[in-house]
Structure 1
Amino acid sequence: MKAIKINIINKKMVYISFIFVILLTSTVFSGCLKNIGLGGEDYRWDVNWITQQDSYGTGDYGRRIEVQNVSRFYKFHIPIGYNPEILTPVVLCFHGGGGYPGAVRYQTDFDILADNEGFIIVYPGGHHGLWNDRLLFWNDGRTPKNDPSFSDIDDVGFISLLIDDLGMYFNIDENRIFATGISNGAMMSYRLASELSNKIAAIAPVAGQRAIGEFGQVPPVPVPIIHFHGILDEWAPYYGGKQVSSFFLEDFRNSVLNTTISWVIHNKCPLYPYDTFRIGNATCTKYGPGLNNSEVVLWTLEDGGHTWPGGKITKSEGDYLGIGVGPINHDISSMELIWKFFESNPKQ
């Protein structure tokens, strides 16, 4: 490529390194960018954009709302059999860093589970950084490395407004609003548990620990948590420390045990688990009961990478230049276990 034939060797190396990081980030986390429009919207998932008050039934929809003078969006699936006369639970599912709603929808197949179990599944869209308007991220509480304005993004406020906005069009059960997500989206779930516990009943983070120093705002009530994490995860190391690569956000991670115990203590659960069992290469450790009968559950996947147990990965998430998201554990279905946990943990 002529573009990289620069005479000064340092400039050449900087340019090539920058291109490598951009390609790696977009390839590993977001999929084929040709399918994403400006602002990160995923055009592989056609939805009916709601722009006016009306009666809506089963189907795929989207809404745009303004937050901090910026247009944000979310997409969602209303399950088969939805009855506007009956309160319906809501699951918020957050994509990973550099991802988008359509990717996590594909990875989890939550739409199918929503149809079978009768809940609304919502896929919020993150915000983009100044350096790239296609890759979407969440302000999960970590320190940004290359974009100081990142810390000013009010994603907690966005989700709070999203819940209110969804309730204007559908009969949602405010006592059964839950959050799950992977990677950056998992960490966003932890932030919501800490800062939006008045609306979020329980969370299910996958492959993402709480941010260091997350309890700057201590949640006033206990929040039940079920966490899934693979020991082979290089992007969110199980034992903590520096992740394999990070261009955009602070890349030092809490250990999974540190994250788990911090919430065990907050929920006032006994420090020793009351139950531990194994299914294949998946080990479940349960702590509780705590305040308001709350519980903290950890699933450790010996053969799991930076993936949804029982889920899928997009084509571009496979091995790329020796770095990929790693293997998927198929001994359990995290999606089914997440919903079972949510069903048992409405807001107290």
Structure 2
Amino acid sequence: MRNLVAVLVTALLAAGCSGAPAPRQAAADEHMLTVDGRERGYLLHVPPGAEGRLPVLLVLHGGGGNARQVAGQTGLSDLADEAGFLVVYPNGSGRTSLLTWNAGACCGYAQRQGIDDVAFLSALLDEVLADQLADPERVFVTGMSNGAMMSYRLACELSDRITGIAPVAGALNVTPCRPTRPVSVLAVHGTADELVPYDGGPPAQPAPGNESWVNASVADSVGFWVDHDGCRRPATERTEGAVTTATYAGCAEGSEVVLHTVAGGGHAWPGGRRSRSEADPVPPEPDASRLVAEFVTRVR
């Protein structure tokens, strides 16, 4: 048990989650769903005056986080009001308020207990997409850290339902990955990330005596989708300040793959909220939340 707590605390501190008050944010309704005998919760934010078929964005918290925490960290509900899409913030699972996702090789309680988070999130989509406001042809997933890893897993196992994913500070840590159609990818990752190293491998500084895991590199994680989506290599690159954007063209069925590399960036949501002093500093650029919002409204 001490090992499990150490893993969660390490992820919690690295991701900037804490009990600190969240900033003001657009309201979201709380819902409950029972899957495999487990009652699971999620928050749903619908833009005021919404009508027609709107894109759907699942936002997955990092290890040790929760739905309300990631809503405050990213501010995506406010951007959803501007751009016009639905936002869903699901909760992972855990024995305490420190929640995780079973993203393959990681993390914590969810992975150790073999929680079927793919089944949970698929059932959640069934429930959300039953509303006539939701567009089943435009379903996106983003996440931070362990949540980013889970977004990769959903793209592997629910590619028939997922239009695109936007992992931030996470890796493709599930094998085998066998998507059945192209999935667009927008990835954001810092070169100085020590929890999910840019070049792959285990966390650089795990808590003493805790369990660890091995992360795929950013090159391998993104490269898998470049190959699967049939994109042309090499990428077109543009550098502005600390951010280098690699864009792969010619991807199948109108899909796209884009990687934003933040030089010197740590384990953080760039442009987001840093909720405790021990967390890695938050790079001011790029604004990851705005990139995600633009991705959701652009890609079809």
* TM-score between both structures, scaled by the size of structure 1: 0.78
Structure 2: distance between partners of 1:185 and 1:168: 24
- Give runs of aligned pairs for residues 113-262 of structure 1, distance below 5 A: 113-128=79-94, 132-142=95-105, 149-151=112-114, 153-169=115-131, 171-215=133-177, 218-243=178-203, 244-245=205-206, 250-262=212-224
In structure 2, C-alpha distance between the alignment counterparts of 1:204 and 1:22, rounded to whole Å: 23
Name structure 2 gaps, 5 residues minimum. Answer: none
Per-residue Cα deviation, 1:253-300 (whole angstroms, up to 9, x for no partner): 111111111111111112311x21012100000112221132211100
Distance 1:222 1:19, change over 3 A: closer
Count of residue pairs brought into register by the alignment: 297
Per-residue deviation, 1:138:
0.5
CA distance in 1, matches of 2:294, 2:6: 41
Shift of 1:332: 2.0
If you compute each CA radius of gyration, which structure gives the higher value, 1 or 2? Answer: 1
> Following the alignment from structure 1 to structure 2, what is the Cα–Cα distance between the partners of residues 176 and 77?
16
Is 2:261 the partner of 1:307? Answer: no
Is the contact made by 1:141 and 1:214 (CA closer than 8 Å) also made in structure 2? no
SS at match of 1:299: strand
C-alpha separation in 2, matches of 1:237 and 1:103: 23
Q: Partner amino acid for 1:133? A: T
Moved more, 172-181 or 134-143: 134-143
**Residues 18 and 60 of structure 1: is their aligned pair in 2 closer, same or farther, counting only changes over 3 Å?**
closer
Shift, 1:170, TM fit? 5.1
1:79 and 2:66 correspond: no
Share of identical aligned residues, percent?
34
Contact map agreement 1:91 1:180 (CA 8 A) in 2? yes
Contact 1:64 1:74 survives alignment (8 Å): yes
Going from structure 1 to structure 2, the CA distance change for 1:66 and 1:22 (only over 3 Å counts) comes to closer
2:41 and 2:71 mapped to 1: Cα distance? 15
> What do you get for the CA RMSD once the two structures are aligned?
2.8
How far 1:146 moved relative to its partner?
7.7
Give the Å deviation of 1:28: 4.7
Q: Which moved more, 1:241-250 or 1:221-230?
A: 241-250
Q: 1:61 to 1:169 in 2, by over 3 A?
A: farther
1:31 equivalent to 2:26? Answer no
User: Which residue pairs with 1:335 in the alignment?
Assistant: 289
Structure 1 contact 142–249 (Cα < 8 Å) conserved: no
Asked if structure 2 preserves the Cα contact closer than 8 Å seen for 1:92 and 1:121, the reply is yes
Structure 1 residue 194, shift from structure 2 partner: 0.6
Q: 1:156 aligns to what SS in structure 2?
A: helix
User: What's the CA shift string for 1:213-262, capped at 9, x where partnerless?
Assistant: 241xx111010101000011111100111102268764211111111111
Q: Which runs of 5+ in 1 are unaligned?
A: 1-13, 36-43, 48-57
Aligned residue number for residue 92 of structure 1: 58
Secondary structure, counterpart of 1:254 in structure 2: coil
Q: Distance in 2 between matches of 1:46 and 1:327?
A: 21
Residue of structure 1 in register with 2:252 after alignment:
291
**Cα distance in structure 2, aligned partners of 1:285 and 1:97:** 27
**Paired amino acid for 1:78:** V
Which consecutive segments of 4 or more residues in structure 1 shift more than 3 A? 17-30, 44-47, 143-149, 246-250
Q: Closer, same or farther in 2 for the Cα pair 1:45/1:196, shift >3 Å?
A: farther
Question: Distance between the aligned counterparts of 2:151 and 2:28, measured in 1?
Answer: 23
Q: Name the residue aligned to 1:69.
A: 37
User: Residues 242 and 24 from structure 1, CA distance in 2 versus in 1: closer, same or farther, beyond 3 angstroms?
Assistant: closer
Over residues 308-341 of structure 1, what are the superposed CA-to-partner deviations in whole Å (9 max), with x where a residue is unaligned? 11111212xx32xxxx3x2222132111112222
1:269 equivalent in structure 2: 231
By how many angstroms is 1:72 displaced? 0.6
Q: Distance in 1 between matches of 2:119 and 2:6?
A: 34
Aligned partner of 2:200: which letter?
Answer: G
SS of equivalent residue, structure 2 residue 271: coil
The answer to whether the Cα contact below 8 Å between 2:199 and 2:217 also exists between their aligned partners in 1 is yes
Instruction: Please tell me whether the aligned partners of residues 276 and 285 of structure 1 are also in contact (alpha carbons under 8 angstroms).
Output: yes
Q: Aligned residue for 1:6? A: none
